[in-house]
Amino acid sequence: MYSISYKVNGQEDINDYMVMENESFFKYSEKTIKRYFKENKERMFQGGSNHDFTVKKKFLDKRKDLFFTNVFTVDIQIFEIDIEGCEMITKHNFFNQNNQLCAIIEYNLVWDNYS
């Protein structure tokens, strides 16, 4: 499992009630997956060739709010990977500083291979 910690920022992440917006969950999730692929492309793809990823489908299941200045962790679980079909299913879990599950995002990702 791969995880990164972040902190909820002011103007760009929250609404008027200081609660993290849904779009910010997607932003941090996509930031985490890009970093994961950058660090692991040699291992995942033979030769470490360049790839552009596209989100085919995404779903947010929000369970608990994150607030301004909260520290949170995003972890990535890869459930299914089809190298030949260039498709992968991932799940991103958001945990607050008390390790309580706050949100889950499921992605179907596809990529183009530019060898």
Count of the separate structural domains present in the chain: 1
pLDDT per position as a tens digit, 66-108: 999 999 999 999 888 887 778 889 999 999 999 999 999 999 9
CA distance 100 to 102: 6
pTM here is 0.85
Q: What element of type H or E holds 80?
A: strand 71-82
Q: Say if residue 53 is exposed, middle or buried (CB neighbours under 10 Å; 0-12, 13-18, 19+).
A: middle
One-letter amino acid at 101 equals L
Domain that holds residue 68: 2-114
Two tokens at 47? 């030769």
pLDDT per position as a tens digit, 24-61: 999 999 999 889 888 877 666 655 555 667 788 889 99
Three-state DSSP state, 31: helix
What's 41's domain CATH number? 3.10.129.10
CA distance 6 to 1: 17
